[in-house]
């Protein structure tokens, strides 16, 4: 059979071979042509991609459509040194540049040449494990904006008090002073006691930091709209600061109750002491997860109902218009609810931090 096929191939003319090659290329092009749902065809709306794109951090700031603001990429890789360039070179994460590429929002080291299509098979795992990403991401830039906004607010209020000592507050003071008094009287004093003053700078800072970033996340306009307090790394950092302050201020009475609860039989301490020590580490974990979960869940719910407009719109234009009325109304309702949650979560984090500080410095009661 193979011999007969070879004889038949020898009998083919050069014209027949060229015609067959052209026919094969035409079939390949036809199969590779974009079909319905491809990038160049009728692109299907992906609600999961849209929601996670707004909730997660990224190396650029998406504005609308295919328009985004590139942010600085700052990476250090052992053996390569420091690399600084714009994330715009990645072309929305499609290509490699300067020995790096973006995959699922993560910076990966690669040996591929500049302009090579980004692919997981091109990742240099050894270099990636030795890469430290110090890039100015969307959340990092949002933290800079919120920090600048906090400085502007409090420096303005401080100047107003210095300019009008002893007088009734006016302007921005009317909004800030009641919140400061609330944190002082109902949070710090109530949970810490007479020694509350040493913790006031941190409690006020963390309260306004969480509150301002929560409110900024509800405004879908640059430079707002970043999900800072919905980032587990940010909530982890805040919880660790509370954890460290608690440990540094813990007195003998505090550690005595954790390591050897007074009045408890020694055999019971074998069970109780490990539980108490575990509780010391669980408290910051609760702070971290509570803030992260509540803020992220709120954003996901709002975006999910907004995505219903496009999902039903792909099925039928009239159905999309009909659903949009109810979807927008519920989106507005959830946004108002998120406005309340922004204050509640800032209060809860500050309140629990004050409780931990109060337990750490509590003096023994003598009867």
Residue with tokens 């920090």, as numbered in its chain: 147
How many C-beta atoms surround the C-beta of residue 92 within 10 A? 13
Q: What was the pLDDT predicted at 30?
A: 35
Could you tell me what percentage of the chain is helix, strand and coil, using 3-state DSSP and rounding each to the nearest 5? 65, 10, 25
Q: What was the pLDDT predicted at 315?
A: 81
Average pLDDT, the chain: 82
Instruction: Give me the mean pLDDT over the 139-153 stretch.
Output: 94
Give the bridge partners for 133, in sequence order. Answer: 75
Quick: pLDDT tens for 220-255.
Answer: 888 888 889 999 999 999 999 999 999 999 888 888
Tell whether the model's pLDDT for residue 23 goes beyond 50: no
Residue with tokens 């328009």, as numbered in its chain: 67
Tell whether the model's pLDDT for residue 304 goes beyond 50: yes
The answer for residues whose C-beta is within 8 angstroms of residue 260's C-beta and 6 or more apart is 269, 273
Tell whether the model's pLDDT for residue 145 goes beyond 60: yes
Give the bridge partners for 132, in sequence order. Answer: 76
Q: Is 101 helix (H, G, I), strand (E, B) or coil?
A: strand
> Exposed/middle/buried for 349, CB within 10 Å: 0-12, 13-18, 19+?
buried
Tell whether the model's pLDDT for residue 187 goes beyond 50: yes
Q: How far is CA 23 from CA 9, 15, 345, in A?
A: 17, 12, 65
Q: Is 113 helix (H, G, I), strand (E, B) or coil?
A: coil
Q: What was the pLDDT predicted at 362?
A: 84
Quick: pLDDT tens for 247-286.
Answer: 999 888 888 888 888 777 888 888 888 888 998 899 999 9
Q: What was the pLDDT predicted at 18?
A: 45
CA-CA-CA-CA dihedral for 149, 154, 157, 161, to nearest 10: -160
pTM of the model: 0.80
Q: Which of 122-126, 180-184, 328-332 has the highest mean pLDDT?
A: 180-184
CA distance 345 to 294: 8
- φ/ψ of residue 115, rounded to 5: 90, -5
Instruction: Give me the mean pLDDT over the 40-59 stretch.
Output: 72
Q: Are 134 and 74 spatial neighbours (Cβ–Cβ below 8 Å)?
A: yes
Instruction: Give me the mean pLDDT over the 355-364 stretch.
Output: 88
CA distance 122 to 108: 9
Q: Report residue 93's pLDDT band, with 50, 70 and 90 as the boundaries.
A: confident
């Amino acid at each position: 059979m193979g011999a007969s096929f070879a004889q038949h191939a020898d009998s083919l003319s050069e014209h027949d071979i060229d015609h067959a090659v052209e026919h094969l290329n035409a079939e390949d092009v036809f199969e590779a042509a974009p079909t319905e749902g491809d990038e160049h065809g009728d692109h299907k709306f992906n609600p999961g991609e849209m929601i996670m794109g707004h909730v997660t951090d990224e190396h650029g700031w998406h504005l609308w459509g295919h328009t985004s603001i590139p942010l600085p990429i700052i990476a250090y890789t052992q053996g390569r040194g420091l690399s600084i360039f714009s994330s715009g070179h990645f072309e929305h994460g499609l290509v490699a540049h300067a020995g790096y590429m973006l995959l699922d929002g993560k910076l990966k080291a690669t040996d591929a040449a500049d302009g090579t299509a980004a692919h997981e098979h091109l990742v240099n795992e050894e270099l990636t494990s030795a890469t430290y990403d110090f890039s100015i991401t969307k959340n990092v830039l949002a933290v800079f904006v919120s920090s600048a906004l906090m400085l502007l607010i409090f420096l303005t209020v401080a100047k107003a008090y210095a300019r009008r000592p002893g007088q009734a507050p006016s302007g921005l003071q009317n909004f800030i002073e009641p919140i400061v008094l609330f944190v002082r009287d109902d949070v710090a004093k109530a949970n810490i006691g007479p020694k509350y003053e040493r913790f006031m700078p941190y409690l006020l800072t963390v309260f306004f930091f969480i509150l301002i970033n929560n409110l900024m996340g509800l405004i879908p306009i640059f430079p707002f709209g970043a999900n800072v307090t919905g980032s587990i790394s940010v909530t982890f950092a805040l919880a660790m600061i509370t954890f460290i302050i608690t440990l540094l201020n813990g007195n003998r009475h505090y550690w005595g109750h954790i390591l050897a609860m007074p009045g408890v039989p020694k055999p019971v301490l074998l069970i109780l002491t490990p539980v108490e020590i575990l509780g010391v580490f669980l408290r910051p974990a609760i702070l971290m997860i509570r803030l992260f979960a509540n803020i992220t869940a709120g954003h996901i719910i709002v975006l999910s109902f907004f995505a219903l407009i496009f999902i039903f719109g792909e099925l039928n234009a009239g159905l999309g218009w009909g659903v949009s009325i109810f979807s927008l109304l519920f989106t507005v309702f959830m946004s108002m609810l998120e406005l309340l949650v922004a204050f509640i979560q800032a209060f809860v984090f500050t309140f629990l931090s004050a409780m931990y500080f109060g337990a750490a410095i509590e003096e023994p009661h003598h009867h």
